[in-house]
Structure 1
Amino acid sequence: MKILGDYHTHTIFSSGFRKKGTHATGTIEDNANVALKKGLTTLAISEHGPGHYLYGVRKENIPLMKEEIKRLNEYYVPRGLTILLGVEANLVGLDGELDVDDEFIKYLDVLLMGYHYGAMPKSAKDGLGLYLYNPISKAFKINQEKVVEMNTKAYLKAMDNYKIDIITHPGSKAKINIAEVAKKAKKVGTALEISAKHSELSVKSLNLLKGIDVDYYINSDAHKPEDVGNIEKGILKAREAKVPFDRIRNMIAEGE
């Protein structure tokens, strides 16, 4: 199997209020150079959503990034690589609200969604539910079933509210009913990420999804240019769980 694209990579624009390069170290062009050398045909720059104060992309940078990618594609597309602009939006509401609006989304080629500690919730109630109950439940193993149900409902509502292309590392930071999320994702055309960086989707979780024809992406979640396209750990998980490779959108059989 051959990887066609890496749809989850970060650059210095994932910086929040801090100095660029504190969280992710490369420029868009740095990531593109590595992607081209590794033979990728597609590279998505998918910064953290603007609602994360520590390493979210600043809204005013999105139009600038769009222009930079347009300029870079004039060089890279003739050489076989297309750069896309994406964002890894944060789940900030129990009702499935993300930290992006229509004005923001109009610039994007691909919309990813992930759960991250540190994103600004839309209300105190959402903050308690998403960012307090989750770590407490995980640390002390209390009310876990209720927390899983709460998280799952938020994920399902997010897929109702937005056309999400990829859910990143589902279940890695906030536990969910992965089968219910996969069923909904299949219905609306959202893919789940098999992360080469995070624990989820794990082989155990993938085995729970047999019989649900949901699609996947295997991504690097690169925060350094040299990690772009490094998805071997994700491929190993997919192989062990016997995921049909025709359901992995960014891979193709050699020779096709």
Structure 2
Amino acid sequence: MKLIGDYHTHTIYSHGKGTIEDNVNMAIERGLKEIAITDHGYGHFLYGIKKSRIAEMKEKIANINKKQDKVKVKFGIEANILGFDGRLDVEKEILDSIDIVLAGYHFGALSKNFIDDSIIHGRNLLGRYVTYMDKKNKIINTDTVIKAMYNYNIDILTHPGDKGCVYMKEVAKAAAETNTLLEINSSHSYLRVEDIKIAMKEGAMFVINSDAHRPEHVGVVERGIKRAIEAKLPIDRIVNVE
């Protein structure tokens, strides 16, 4: 199983350690055909990109694509899922103007609704230590994620279940219906093997990404591939391997 595209990488525009050029050069070195630069949406108060720099990033990527043809570079954003209504922290007009849209739930992503933020983040943080909250948290998180997939044209749902537990069957069914890829993240442990097995049965399609925050981690997806193999996931259900 060989990776041909890595669609989840970060740079110094959010909290990555390398430049766009660094990630692209590593993608070329690894023999990838495509790479996406997908820094965090600006709703993340610690790591979000600056909205004012989106045009600059687009221009850099366009210039890189003009100068070389070894790897196709896509500009994307890993948007943050906010609130109970499944809204994202990036406006639809901007999402419609980029090459690839990723979305996931992250601690530290703040909406303009303090009550929503407090309840969702608070419950998910406490839920890591208070097991009786799991069922209610799963209901809330699942509903929120599903609404996001139906409200926006999301290409990839990143590390589903990692920061907030979900009912994978329902999430996978919605992903299949909305043509949203479920990510097997090689930096996080989600999707887990058991999640992949459940999602397979619901007809979902998958992508294996590095979620690289350093250039040297671009294209490093052995952990994700190992889980896919363990789950007996057919290669034709993974869009970026051959």
TM-score range (shorter-chain normalised) is over 0.9
d(CA) in 2 for partners of 1:205, 1:106:
30
Partner of 1:251: helix, strand, or coil? coil
Q: 1:27 aligns with which of 13, 19, 42?
A: 19
Task: Please say if residues 85 and 107 of structure 1, whose CA atoms lie closer than 8 Å, have aligned partners that are also in contact.
Answer: no
| Alpha-carbon separation, structure 1, partners of 2:159 and 2:93 | 26
2:54 to 58, 62, 74: 62
Give the gaps of 5 or more residues in structure 2: none
Query: CA–CA distance in 2 between the matches of 1:188 and 1:129?
Result: 27
Q: Match for residue 96 of structure 2?
A: 106
Give the counterpart of 1:52 among 44, 54, 67.
Answer: 44
Instruction: Tell me the amino acid that sits aligned with residue 48 of structure 2.
Output: G
Q: Check the 8 A contact 1:63/1:107 in 2, yes or no.
A: no
- Report what 2:7 is aligned to: 7
How do residues 1-256 of structure 1 correspond to structure 2 at under 5 angstroms?
1-14=1-14, 23-77=15-69, 79=70, 81-252=71-242
Can you list the C-alpha shifts for 1:17-45, whole angstroms capped at 9, x where unaligned?
Answer: xxxxxx31100000000000111010000
Q: CA deviation at 1:128?
A: 2.4
Question: Which stretch has the larger CA shift, 135-144 or 24-33?
Answer: 135-144
Taking only the aligned residue pairs, the percentage that are identical comes to 45
The Cα shift of 1:106 comes to: 3.4
Computed over aligned residues only, the root mean square deviation of the Cα atoms, in angstroms, reads 1.0
The one-letter amino acid of 1:173's match is: K
Contact 2:92 2:152 in 1 (8 A): no
The whole-number CA distance in structure 2 between the counterparts of 1:53 and 1:75 is 34
Structure 2 length normalisation: TM-score?
A: 0.97
Aligned residues: 242
Deviates more, 1:102-111 or 1:212-221: 102-111
Q: Which residue of 2 aligns with 1:19?
A: none
